[in-house]
Structure 1
Amino acid sequence: MIGTDENREIVEWRKTTEDGQTVYVIEYSEPVPEPAGRSKTPFGASSGGTVPARTQYVQLPDGERIPATEAAFDAEGTTLRVRHRPSVLDRIRRYLPW
């Protein structure tokens, strides 16, 4: 869960960098469950099977969007940490001369 619902609100959030990766630390007013993660099938279950998993994204509090396949979540109590982990292909592309 990223965002709010009828029982849970974002109290505070911050964007940091750890080990060269962007991390969002989001504090909620109530305990937050860890998101289920990305779909194992090529189509996302939450979309009714109409949106390919590779085009799903996570929208963060500052409006930044990251591909759902590159998001890692860690929930503890009222804190949700969202880490942006670029795909292996994206990391390789940075080092190629083309």
Structure 2
Amino acid sequence: MIGTSETREIVDWRKTTEDGETVYEIEYSEPVPEPTGRSKTLFGASSGGTVPAGEQYFELPDGERIPASEAVFDAEGTTLRVRRRSSLAARLRRYLPW
């Protein structure tokens, strides 16, 4: 689960939409940093080894998975805001007829 650790737990969360983008606002029991790097606890494979870039994701409190390449973070104190921002290629595929 995103942002949790042995001592940090999710206290509350909510899912909203801002400017057409899904935003998760997650509150933790202690300060939380913006996720960086490739933490084993954040990415899809729990059996070890390398996870291909296209298969890496962040799991959110409601069970939704956001591809790591589409996640944008903003951390402030005990609150982490997570946005799903589609890649340029994904946005083009939605609007092009092919």
Q: Is the 8 A contact 1:3 1:61 kept in 2?
A: no
Counterpart of 2:65? 65
Find the counterpart in structure 2 of residue 33 from structure 1: 33
- Note the aligned Cα RMSD (angstroms): 2.0
AA matched with 1:34: E
Structure 1: stretches of 5+ with no match in the other structure: 38-43
- Secondary structure of the structure 1 residue equivalent to 2:26: strand
1:6-85 matched pairs, under 5 angstroms: 6-36=6-36, 46=40, 50-85=50-85
SS at match of 2:23: strand
TM-score normalised by length of structure 1: 0.83
Separation in 1 of the partners of 2:92 and 2:50? Answer: 30
TM-score normalised to structure 2 length: 0.83
Structure 2 residues not aligned, in runs of 5+: none
CA offsets 1:57-94 (integer angstroms, 9 cap, x no match): 11100000111000011100000000000111110111
- Give aligned-pair identity as a percent: 76
